[in-house]
């Protein structure tokens, strides 16, 4: 039984590590910190799973990762803010052509959002989670998820207005 759990855990970590690290990267914007966040979160998951306290590894991992990110962000926000562009300074994302430039620009815009809005946007629009799932992972109401999504996307749209106007203001509308 113990061997089965260990085997399942190893398979899970091996297979989901990269994906969770990408989620963490979108959340924090730094690969080094993303690596740390995902290792911290998965270590907690492993400890809990070995005690038989985890029903769904995937759901629990996502929940722990978000919690670790939000806690870490709250604890060290003052120090880390120095490593990121100041929201005011980031108001002019690079205007360059190509997919890479677009990705960089969206990433820069994402970083300007407050932590919870960023988490909501990442869960809803990258992880493709429903409002209900997102609310459960973040431990907030569905109404809060909807308002955070709207504010987050509006914030991104505002940030990107100068460089990606053709994307952000197409008829499809993000909000």
Does 32 participate in binding another protein (rule CB under 8 A)?
Answer: yes
If phi > 0 it is left, if psi is from -120 to 50 it is alpha, else beta; for residue 139 that is left
| Local structure of 131: helix, strand or coil | helix
Give me the half-sphere count of Cα atoms (radius 13 Å) on the Cβ side of residue 123: 26
In this structure, are residues 162 and 108 in contact, taking their beta carbons and an 8 Å threshold?
no
Backbone Cα Rg of the chain: 17
In this structure, are residues 72 and 57 in contact, taking their beta carbons and an 8 Å threshold?
no
In this structure, are residues 168 and 157 in contact, taking their beta carbons and an 8 Å threshold?
yes
CB of 105 to another protein, least distance (A): 9
Does 96 participate in binding another protein (rule CB under 8 A)?
Answer: no
Among 36, 85, 136, 144, binds another protein (CB under 8 A): 36
Contact range with another protein by CB under 8 A, out of 42-50, 85-93, 112-120, 130-138 = 42-50
Please count the residues of this chain forming the interface with another protein, following the rule CB under 8 A. 51
Does 39 participate in binding another protein (rule CB under 8 A)?
Answer: yes
Does 26 participate in binding another protein (rule CB under 8 A)?
Answer: yes
Interacting residue ranges for another protein, rule: CB under 8 A: 9-10, 13-14, 17-18, 21-23, 25-26, 31-32, 35-36, 38-40, 42-44, 46-47, 50, 75-79, 82, 99-100, 102-104, 106-107, 110, 122, 125-126, 128, 153, 157, 164, 167-168, 170, 172-174
């Amino acid at each position: 039984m113990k061997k089965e759990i260990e085997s399942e855990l190893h398979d899970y970590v091996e297979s989901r590590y990269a994906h969770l690290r990408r989620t963490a990267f979108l959340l924090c914007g730094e690969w080094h910190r993303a690596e740390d966040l995902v290792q911290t979160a998965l270590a907690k998951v492993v400890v809990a799973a070995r005690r038989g306290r985890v029903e769904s590894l995937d759901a629990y991992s996502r929940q722990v990762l978000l919690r670790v990110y939000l806690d870490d962000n709250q604890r060290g926000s003052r120090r880390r803010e120095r490593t990121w562009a100041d929201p005011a300074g980031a108001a002019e994302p690079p205007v360059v052509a190509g997919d890479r430039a677009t990705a960089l620009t969206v990433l820069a815009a994402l970083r300007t959002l407050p932590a919870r809005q960023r988490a909501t946007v990442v869960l809803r629009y990258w992880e493709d989670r429903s409002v209900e799932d997102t609310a459960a992972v973040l431990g907030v109401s569905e109404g809060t998820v909807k308002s955070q999504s709207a504010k987050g996307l509006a914030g991104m749209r505002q940030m990107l207005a100068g460089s990606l106007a053709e994307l952000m203001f197409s008829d499809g509308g993000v909000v």
